[in-house]
Amino acid sequence: MHDHDHGIRGGDSRRLLAVSLGITASVFVVQVAGAWISGSLALFADAAHMLADAGALLIALLASVVAARPADDRRTYGYQRAEVLGALLNGVVLIALCVWIAVEAVQRLLAPEEPVVAGGWMLAVALVGLAANAAAAWLLHRAQRRSINVRGAYLEVLGDMAGSVAVIAAALVVLLTGWTRADAIASLLIAAFIVPRAIGLLREVFSVLAESAPKGTKVAEIRAHLLRAPGVRDVHDVHVWQLTRGAPVFTAHVVVEQEVLERGGSAALLTSLQGCLADHFDVAHSTFQLEAVGHEDRDGAHH
């Protein structure tokens, strides 16, 4: 399997992710405490946003660690599905939090009296969150250019910076005008920003668990590419799925000329086909069943 940390060592990647996770988790705790002290729903929403980032960092770190664990007789593909299960839990928790935030925000907006919000505390904690996100983004900036896992975490941190800016803006409105409903409006904006990410995460999880072809994978294009290999007459019963994000698996039956098998060219052909998938389609794990013309073994559907 590819490590997907092209140009950066796995240990360095894990260390950066662990440091960023520590920063994010610490600020999450500070924001929850700040939301409770100040009465700010926007701060709590931003804490939920920070929880999303912490979940993404944890999943990326987990993926980096478990991908290095060897497969065994019970888990023949290793432990990479652990990342998918973590993402599923993360997505469900985020959706539940966003629903609660939206209900609470609407209740505050419709209440006859404005809610009590301590703008000073709200601003101070939001500034801490922004500074922490900026520090995490700075740590991940260089490595994200060379690591898929780190890049995903980097984009999550950048997204949370926008949430912190929204809280800061609402805090300033509260301090300067006394209009505390700005806090509820900011919380709705942050929740609206989180929901599409959570839905996208769940869609990706369900796609993996349903063993659908990875997004952007064109089976017909792969099949046409394989058909151009010398001696190949047909490619059928093609299956493409992924163990987790960035770990596609490919299997196919390949019908070859009888003379290829007779002259002992099977090994060379297999090497060529596997190299083709790895080089052109970034599929590192591929399995081919070679069949002589007239002896095709089909599973009942021509893929």
The distance of Cα 147 from the centroid of its chain, to the nearest Å, equals 13
pLDDT at 50: 86
Distances (CA, A) of 51 to 13, 43, 91, 112, 285: 21, 12, 11, 32, 33
Distances (CA, A) of 115 to 33, 119, 223: 18, 12, 62
Burial-class residue 158 by CB neighbours within 10 Å (0-12, 13-18, 19+).
Answer: middle
Question: Is this model's pTM higher than 0.75 or not?
Answer: no
Mean pLDDT value across residues 170-195: 94
Mean pLDDT value across residues 186-205: 88
- Using the predicted structure, report yes or no on whether residue 210 has a pLDDT greater than 50: yes
pLDDT at 279: 85
- Residue 67 phi/psi, 5-degree rounding, is -65, -25
pLDDT in tens, 56-83: 778 777 766 765 666 666 766 666 677 7
pLDDT in tens, 79-98: 667 777 777 887 888 899 99
- Using the predicted structure, report yes or no on whether residue 126 has a pLDDT greater than 90: yes
pLDDT at 40: 95
pLDDT at 108: 92
Domain boundaries, the chain: 10-209, 219-292
Q: 10-209 and 219-292 share one CATH topology?
A: no
May I ask the CATH class of domain 10-209?
Answer: mainly alpha
User: In which residue are the tokens 């002290």 written?
Assistant: 37
Say which CATH superfamily domain 219-292 falls into: Cation efflux protein, cytoplasmic domain (3.30.70.1350)
**Higher-confidence position of 61 and 39:** 39
